[in-house]
Amino acid sequence: MKSSDLAAEVMNQSKEMVKMTLADFSDADMLARPCPGANHAAWQLGHLIGAETRIVNSCTPGAMPELPAGFADKFSKSTAGSDDAAAFPKKAELMALFEKTRGAAMEWARKLSDEDLNKPVEGPAKSFAPTVHHAAALIPNHTMMHLGQFQVIRRKLGKPVLF
């Protein structure tokens, strides 16, 4: 297996874990916070979508599908504290966009050659992902960090423990 294939497979695994974890969340559940100051799942999922798009595009400009107009503004640090359901897309819309975005990231990863993986990353992502290889690994790692937070929300809501 090539490194790029492995990167795409790990992206797929983390995507499937997110889908499983959020499968029984309602739109209201997506806005539950496990404690004051913690982010709700709707904001976190939108944040993941935006971050993933920026990370891949910092490696290969234009590789990711364009996000809906105003999407990034809905998931900025300044909106993280909002509990206004009208300020965020519904769960189904977020999940569909996550699936589309992750699919594009996986396609991008599969196309990377070993030479591509060793190229430097430009822009803000460079400080934590100096090469394309680091950026490809960052995507599922970032997802898994938020997945742990989704698990805490599950427990607060009294949902079954999945893993």
Tens of pLDDT, residues 16-33: 999 999 999 999 999 999
Using an 8 Å Cβ cutoff, are 14 and 150 in contact? no
pTM of the shown model: 0.96
pLDDT one-digit tens code per residue, 114-138: 999 999 998 888 888 999 999 999 9
- State residue 123's pLDDT score: 83
List the structure tokens of 14: 């983390």
List pLDDT tens digits, range 63-103.
Answer: 999 999 999 999 999 999 999 999 999 999 999 999 999 99
Burial (CB count within 10 angstroms: exposed 0-12, middle 13-18, buried 19+), residue 23? exposed
At 34 the pLDDT is 93
